Chains A and B, each alone.
Chain A
Amino acid sequence: MKSRGAFVVAAFAALLLEVSFFPHLPGAPQPHLPLLLACGAGLVFGPRQGARVGLLAGLLVDAWIGRLVGSAALLYTGAGWLAGHLGRSFYRDVPGLSPATGAAATFLVETLRGFLAGLITRPEAGAAVMAGWPGVLVPDTVAAAIMAPVVFRLVLWFERRERAARQYGTGVGAGAAGLG
């Protein structure tokens, strides 16, 4: 799987941008690039690859945050896997699938993450936290919808590279089995 290294680099880059680029843009929301990367991988390469990239991106996010470790990994893995099934069904046919997927994934994953955080760390305040959560997430959801096509194109570029490598027999086509 030639794209494995590319996805590792992309996951690191996504985290880097997420933690050091967007916070410095005045008034800019968080587009959750690692999650979008997992969704993009799922849409293009299928559920298994989506889950793998989701696990990697989620683990990186967990390691960076250092609290509630595993929550992002779990949720991103699930998101990548679900996006993979979505992509298998109709990503080539439905226009606007990537922004819709990115926005929905961001909203759902972050809501679940908030729910988990409230449940595990502050059970008594969980309900109050969750009540205001959707309002907080709206800007992030919009940002995700805007950035998702960009990430999606990046993943498509990975796929094209991989396909071209297989086509010209450079001996790196073994990853075809990993496309799910």
Chain B
Amino acid sequence: MGAWLRRVSLLALAALLAVAVMFATRGLRSQPSLPETALHEVLAPLGGVTARIVRGAGEVAETVATLRRLRAENEQLRADLERLRGVEAQVRQLERENRQLRELLGLKQARPDAALAARVIARSPDRWFEEVTLDQGSRDGVQVDMVALAPSGLVGRVVAVTPHSARLLLLTDPESGVGAVIGRTGEAGVVYGRGGNAPELIMTLFSPEADVREGDDVVTSGLGPVYPPGLPIGTVVSVRRDPSGLGLQAIVKPNAELNRLTEVLLLHRQGGEDGQ
């Protein structure tokens, strides 16, 4: 009982003391007590450091958020750029096709033996045989041995026809032989391809002493049964002796861009039943 009374008395005294201190400190004081001053002196600098850390962390978080937003924007812009590049490529493709069609139209109007225009729809996957497939066939009037022209020059001849497509043998195919002459001197020979995706043609000249120079134009001679005379084939880029050392060979660069064909003009067959 005595211990309990003593405890209650102590608690009451403590509460009374606390209330008294509360009353004593209920208003603003210009001069804080020593413990208060000491606590502020210790905690204030630490508080400044903590506040700086918090503010720094906030700035870092804001920077990270900004970086994320910028990254998202960057990705979006990259995607837009890629899309626009695709559109630009399509526009260029259309422009090129448009130009080629205009040139082809001009060529068709210029040539009385022009039969029809055809679009290249496929290319031989083989490295050694240079063929393309056209979107016009026998139902459209395409026949074997029709000659194909691009606006810049000779392309090749039709070697097979189905009702709705035709196979065109390019000049660069090893099987393709074209009777040709040097435009400047009239020296005759045969032009054939090398295959293997090689872009050049080889012209074997009939005369071992032929007058051929770099830069000479090569055109069809019209001596064979397929090609009419005067069609531009290409330009001589070099002249050399053939492997036997007896004949003369000229390396000819085709005028037509055979690797980038999109449309060709087919000519009526030489002396055919549907010829001119």
Q: Which residues of A pack against B, CB within 8 Å?
A: 12, 15-17, 19-21, 24-26, 60, 63-64, 66-71, 73-74, 116, 120-121
**A17-B51 Cα distance, complex, nearest whole Å:** 9
- Assess whether B43 is in contact with A12, with CB atoms less than 8 Å apart: yes
B15 at the interface (CB under 8 A from A): yes
Q: Name the A residues within 8 Å of B15 (CB-CB).
A: 74
Give me 19 A-to-B residue pairs in the complex whose CB atoms sit less than 8 angstroms apart, sorted by A's number: A12-B42, A16-B43, A16-B47, A17-B50, A19-B43, A19-B47, A21-B51, A21-B54, A24-B50, A24-B54, A25-B58, A63-B39, A64-B39, A64-B43, A66-B29, A68-B25, A69-B22, A70-B18, A74-B18
**A71-B25 Cα distance, complex, nearest whole Å:** 10
**A69-B32 Cα distance, complex, nearest whole Å:** 11
4 pairs of A and B residues whose beta carbons are closest in the complex: A20-B47, A70-B18, A70-B21, A20-B50
**A54-B39 Cα distance, complex, nearest whole Å:** 17
Q: Which residue of B lies closest to A17 (CB)?
A: B50
- Assess whether A15 is in contact with B43, with CB atoms less than 8 Å apart: yes
B23's contact among A21, A66, A73, A120, by CB below 8 Å, is which? A120
B26's contact among A17, A20, A21, A121, by CB below 8 Å, is which? A121
- Assess whether A67 is in contact with B27, with CB atoms less than 8 Å apart: yes
**A157-B27 Cα distance, complex, nearest whole Å:** 40
Known contacts A20-B46, A120-B26; A69/B21 CB under 8 A: yes
**A137-B40 Cα distance, complex, nearest whole Å:** 26
- Assess whether A63 is in contact with B25, with CB atoms less than 8 Å apart: no
Q: Name the A residues within 8 Å of B43 (CB-CB).
A: 12, 15-16, 19-20, 64
**A121-B18 Cα distance, complex, nearest whole Å:** 15
Count residues on chain B whose CB falls below 8 Å from chain A CBs: 30
Chain B 30-73 interface 0/1 with A at a Cβ cutoff of 8 Å (1 = within): 00110110011011001110110011001000000000000000
Besides A16-B46, A66-B29, A66-B36, 14 more A-B contacts (Cβ < 8 Å) are A12-B43, A20-B50, A21-B51, A24-B50, A63-B35, A63-B39, A68-B26, A69-B22, A70-B18, A70-B21, A71-B22, A73-B18, A120-B23, A121-B26
**A26-B54 Cα distance, complex, nearest whole Å:** 10
Nearest CB of A to B264, in Å: 72
B28 at the interface (CB under 8 A from A): yes
B55's contact among A24, A71, A120, by CB below 8 Å, is which? A24
- Assess whether B25 is in contact with A20, with CB atoms less than 8 Å apart: no
Known contacts A19-B43, A60-B39; A120/B50 CB under 8 A: no
**A69-B26 Cα distance, complex, nearest whole Å:** 8
**A19-B46 Cα distance, complex, nearest whole Å:** 10
**A24-B48 Cα distance, complex, nearest whole Å:** 11
